[in-house]
Amino acid sequence: MAAAAASCCHGCWLLPLLLLLTAAAGALGAGGSSLELLDVKSLLLPAASCHTPEEQKPGTTRMPVVHRHGPCSPLAGKQGKAPSHTEILAADQRRVEYIHRRVSESTGRVRRKRGAAPVELRPGAPSSTSPSSLSSSTKSANLPVSSGSVVDTGNYVVPISLGTPAERFTVIFDTGSDTAWVQCEPCVVYCYQQKDPIFNPSKSSTYANISCSSSYCSDLDVSSCTGGHCVYGVEYGDGSFTVGFYAQDTLTLAYDTVKGFRFGCGERNRGLFGEAAGLLGLGRGSTSLPVQAYDKYGGSFAYCLPATSAGRGFLDFGRGAAAANARLTPMLTDNGPTFYYVGMTGIKVDGHLLSIPGSVFSTAGTILDSGTVITRLPPSAYEPLRSAFVKAMAARGYKKAPSYSILDTCFDLTGHQHQGKVALPPVSLVFQGGACLDVDASGILYLADVSQACLAFAANDDDTDVAIVGNTQQKTYSVLYDLGKKAVGFAPGAC
């Protein structure tokens, strides 16, 4: 573990800037040359305007990624009041509890046989070229639905296009889900409100339902059959659900297309999706986009989450998505389906490797997740992190503040924000193969308020619960997932 940690180069990409700030470091507090500079004002929501322009490179799949509640989001201002920090953290906890339940299942996934429960349709047999409609007269779908992840958290959205001619939609992207879906017409009684027009499959010349006899229907965790057509169902951990026909059509990612992309055409949907049109699943399951388009993109994609809700990141597919300076760690594909498992081996605070036995991380394992907000650690790893961070913050003159929701290590930064930036002890996550994620300053603290700035980590209930590296700690990094090479990578300073 020590050898892996030694290869960390915390903040090496910021070295020129830090050299210029050396004189100011002493005034900002103790801690020597080891510091992270945090712009407090930039993290206090809500942000007033979008800071960066949208950039899309011709001939690529690179799409802009924005926080769905931020000013850069096409959903902003349409969905009403953004959720409070309390609501975001409560939803985050529900997602984590769901992930823990799913990981603890001995089989990894629960499958039900097709046809176990029929879905009532309107009279008239569907043809093979046009979708039939799920009955809107019934109050619930009879199809059993599979458990997905909780989506009502601090998620990020991307623009995609679907059909011929192509229609543009804003969807949530999620590495903890596999099956993609959008709301589809006819969808009156059983649709939630979304910003974009609802997808009408009858207007797409390339749309087709998938047959019940197709092996693609068997790929679904849960499916049923009606009129010879495959019907899917997914229920998320917060009670949200989507049910409809499993279909295929042309998917457009920026300037590139994926023909025959399989997705759920949801005619019965309920949930808190923030007016997004649906979801793009980026997990490791057979129905996910990286697996479906493996021959085209080599199972490789990368994203960068912006430092603040007013920033803009990206999502990109293909071998070209990998940054040359990415620090790689093995993708542990034998640990289970869907999720991206990695081997965490240690944590550093203020440049020092904490004394945590390697067995603490190997007992339950660690997953990297785009939808979880706050990183969760085994209690035996969180307590040393908490203790070291509190000591380092005290040395810099910061006062403790009361706990906030799931966050129990908070500080009062009142007055410090007037200095422009505050100095924080750096935090690094160490992984197998020597890869390090030197957490950006924007990902070290979660600011409910300037008087309550909390360490953006929390403890699991037990050391046997899987650890989760959340999206707050992933900010500004290009996070690479390569199914072909079975590797995950981190490249700092990407957005």
In this prediction, residue 169 has a pLDDT band, given cuts at 50, 70 and 90, of very high
- Summary mean pLDDT of the chain: 81
Q: Average pLDDT in the 170-176 region?
A: 94
Active site amino acids: 174, 369
pLDDT higher than threshold 80 for residue 158: yes
In order of 16, 24, 42, 142, 398, the CA distances from 21 in angstroms are: 9, 5, 19, 63, 20
In order of 8, 86, 184, 292, the CA distances from 330 in angstroms are: 16, 35, 39, 22
| Sequence ranges of the domains in the chain | 2-54+328-491, 63-304
Per-residue tokens: 260: 């025959």
pLDDT higher than threshold 60 for residue 143: no
pLDDT at position 309: 84
pLDDT higher than threshold 70 for residue 226: yes
328 vs 377: CA distance, rounded Å: 21
Give per-residue pLDDT as tens, 103-132: 887 434 333 333 433 333 332 223 333 333
pLDDT at position 128: 32
2-54+328-491 against 63-304: fold identical: yes
List residues bridging with 262 in a β-sheet. 248
Give per-residue pLDDT as tens, 406-441: 999 999 998 776 566 788 999 999 999 999 999 999
End-to-end CA distance of the chain: 30
DSSP code per residue over 186-202: S-STT----SSPPB-GG
Name the CATH superfamily for 63-304. Acid Proteases (2.40.70.10)
Q: Average pLDDT in the 345-368 region?
A: 95
Question: Which of 228, 302, 232 minimizes the C-alpha distance to 267?
Answer: 232
Domain 2-54+328-491 has CATH 3.90.180.10: no
In this prediction, residue 270 has a pLDDT band, given cuts at 50, 70 and 90, of confident
444 vs 455: CA distance, rounded Å: 6
pLDDT at position 47: 55
pLDDT at position 271: 78
pLDDT higher than threshold 50 for residue 265: yes
In this prediction, residue 484 has a pLDDT band, given cuts at 50, 70 and 90, of very high
DSSP code per residue over 126-173: PPSSSPPPBPSSSSS--S--EE----SSS-EEEEEEETTTTEEEEEEE
Question: Which of 235, 265, 233 minimizes the C-alpha distance to 247?
Answer: 265
